[in-house]
Structure 1
């Protein structure tokens, strides 16, 4: 009987976890949304910004980013990579992206601490 209770509880927790939205994703204004992965980043780290249903992307901005992020078109979505400012304070930040004539927003979290060092080589082999 106890094993059955644990199994039911585990199934309920997994189902609830799958139903929750992924960290870093937020509904945008109008159609579409901005996705930031990972949804919780450290100062100095790089994050991927994506805007689905955006065949004509322009760019994305956030007070936490070091600069404007140009978005390139990948099929019907815009994608780009941003660097979180090293002096960004912990908290939630808004990301605003322009897609054609639409403006969409999303939010992501900056956590405390320094960025983890990159363990994978960059595209230029350094």
Structure 2
């Protein structure tokens, strides 16, 4: 029963983390670039959202992106590079004559192992075996 409770709580924590938008820098009119999910792994597809994006050519760029993200309306999807390292990467969106900024966090680690009980967590098992 305890394992089930831990699993349910762990799943809820992971889901909440994936649903949260990335912190970003606001543009001149208070809007900013959001990247969803907040923390992404190399090679995954992310959604770029720019609430204030209207008119003209619309695209978002980042060193973490495999290519420029074409925005349809106020959002678009793009794949991250497969070999990108962990870290925080700036994201810049161009909408007509305006520029918006935000950040994307890339992680090469899975977040769920730390939520598992010691016997099921390979990292904890290795650490306990080293003592």
- The answer to whether the 8 Å contact 1:25/1:33 transfers is no
Residues 15-62 of structure 1: CA deviation (Å, up to 9, x unaligned): xxxxxxx44131233121000000100001000000002122510000
Tell me which residue corresponds to 2:22.
Answer: 24
Tell me which residue corresponds to 1:34.
Answer: 33
- Give the structure with the higher percent helix: 2
Query: After TM superposition, what 4+ stretches of structure 1 lie above 6 angstroms from structure 2?
Result: none
| Aligned equivalents of 1:71, 1:46: Cα separation in 2 | 14
Tell me which residue corresponds to 1:110.
Answer: 106
Aligned-pair CA distance for 1:99: 1.3
- Consecutive unaligned residues in structure 1, runs of 5 or more: 1-21, 115-126
- Give the structure with the higher percent strand: 1
Tell me which residue corresponds to 1:49.
Answer: 48
1:61 correspondence with 2:57: no
Q: What is the Cα-based RMSD across aligned positions, in Å?
A: 1.6
Count how many residue pairs are aligned between Structure 1 and Structure 2. Answer: 89
